[in-house]
Amino acid sequence: MSICVYLWIHSVSHRRPTPLVNSGYISKNDTFLDNYSVAYPIFHREKIDTLLRNYVNHQVDDFLRTHDSMQSLDVGLIINYTILHYDARTLSIMFHETEHMASRGEVRTQTIVTYDLQKNSQLKLTDITKDKPLAAFLLRRILHDYFQHLTTESLTPDELTQLANIKLEDMGQFVLDDDALILYLDPREPTSQQSNVTVSINKQLLSGVLDDAFVEASPSQTQRTIESSTYAIDSLPAHELITDLSAKMLALTFDDGPGVLTQQLLDVLNAYSAHATFFVIGRQVPTYADAVRREIAEGNEVGNHTWNHPKLTGLTPSELERQIDDTQRVIKNATGGYTPVLMRPPQGAVNSLVSSFIHSRGMQVQLWNVDTLDWLDRDAQVVYERIMAGAGDGRVILLHDIHPTSVAAATRAIPELISQGYELVTVSELNRYRP
Ligand code: ZN
């Protein structure tokens, strides 16, 4: 067995000093028993060097313990390393480990360890994220979309689900490059220590998610490591209308339209690049088909609010079919194929028959958590005040776009909410980002 020689790849820029890095070695050569040859980098920074030495010693101990207990003969371990990234803040090393066993051949693994050079400790993904639920959600979603797109043929639905549910704590292997967060993953076993896919995500996309100290580009002292299996993600998944993921979000919802005032409301939403969700009455759709088409075309969401607004809990299955299916059909026809995924039952009334009917149509029941009572108090000032009082991150606000007072109140509230820092999003977007 021999120790491989590793080249230190340094920056081509002459202004950056080449850091002094040496290799340390530990090895044991016996004719019959377990052998090992281990190389690790020495940065001449006492605390980091100790962590690195401890890491390889631990790997050797594990190896010896496993093979001593198995009384196995003729086994060997080689560890060598590549420096993936080294800047003022972080250091990432890939350790390549090969175990030889006479009976089983070679087993190769690669492990990436990232260190915080200011705190002299190993870095976990949870240490570099300031909004952990959002980070977990966003990374899962990016990865899920990505792998689904990439490997639909080779991954089973179970494997995709596993990938979609991966926890931040389990995404152990990553590098913070100059401008990307690079995750090293095995799509078949995302939590495993082995990885065969690297996904690099533009750091600017994660600016609301990563700790600011780790978003800033810090000049790397290594050349950017690009592997053949690296996939770069420079934009969020398709249909992304939200510009700032760290902003407060709320969803305005308008029921009982479309009507004569709907286009006027769309003008206001469009002027502020705001989006809303319209729960429409099927019977009115043919008359105001232009408004419904415009709702979709301008990035709003359209939901089903029955054919003519009965309370659904008193209906038979065939009446439910007419109320719900006919409305889906008329929306689909008016818009050239758009199919709502949200159903808002009149008065919010559901029972188990109604909700299982809705689910059987691939829809979910969507209620609200702020009721402006705008149908009762036809006073634009009062309705405006209720919108503003009810505003909050993750809120779903109920209004009706058939009352002039409600449209007037929304016209005042929309710019005011935006100036208070809200992203006005659709209900499906809200459900995605504030699950
Ligand atoms: Zn209604």
Percent of the chain with pLDDT over 70: 75
- What's the CA-to-centroid distance between 344 and ligand 1, angstroms? 8
pLDDT at 36: 85
* 14, HSE (Cβ side, Cα atoms, 13 Å): 0
pLDDT grade for 226, boundaries at 50, 70 and 90:
very low
Contact 117, 48 (CB under 8 A): yes
- What's the CA-to-centroid distance between 309 and ligand 1, angstroms? 6
- What's the CA-to-centroid distance between 251 and ligand 1, angstroms? 17
- What's the CA-to-centroid distance between 153 and ligand 1, angstroms? 44
| β-pairing verdict for 22-28 and 35-42 | antiparallel
Higher pLDDT, 241 or 10: 241
pLDDT at 18: 47
- What's the CA-to-centroid distance between 283 and ligand 1, angstroms? 13
Give CA–CA dist 348/368, Å, rounded: 9
- What's the CA-to-centroid distance between 336 and ligand 1, angstroms? 25
pLDDT grade for 302, boundaries at 50, 70 and 90:
very high
Can you point out the beta strands (E) in 43-151?
A: 75-86, 90-101, 105-116, 121-122
pLDDT grade for 167, boundaries at 50, 70 and 90:
confident
- What's the CA-to-centroid distance between 141 and ligand 1, angstroms? 33
- What's the CA-to-centroid distance between 364 and ligand 1, angstroms? 17
- Give the angle 186-187-188 at the CA atoms, nearest 5°: 90
| DSSP state, residue 31 | S
Q: Which residues contact 41 (CB under 8 A, 6 or more apart)?
A: 21, 22, 23, 24, 52, 81, 83, 93
CA dihedral 241, 244, 245, 249 (to 10 degrees): -80
- What's the CA-to-centroid distance between 422 and ligand 1, angstroms? 25
Give CA–CA dist 343/334, Å, rounded: 18
Residue 411 has pLDDT above 80, yes or no: yes
pLDDT at 159: 64
- By three-state DSSP, how is residue 201 classified? strand
pLDDT at 379: 96
The residues assigned a catalytic role are 255, 400
pTM above 0.75, yes or no: no
Selection from 226, 56, 245, 244 nearest residue 136 by Cα: 245
Residue 316 has pLDDT above 70, yes or no: yes
Ion ligand 1 neighbours (CB, 5 A) are 255-256, 346
Q: Which range, of 44-53, 247-256, 277-286, 423-432, averages the lowest pLDDT? A: 423-432
Per-residue pLDDT tens digits for 352-377: 999 999 999 999 999 999 999 999 99
Average pLDDT over residues 169-181: 81
Residue 10 has pLDDT above 60, yes or no: no
pLDDT at 82: 85
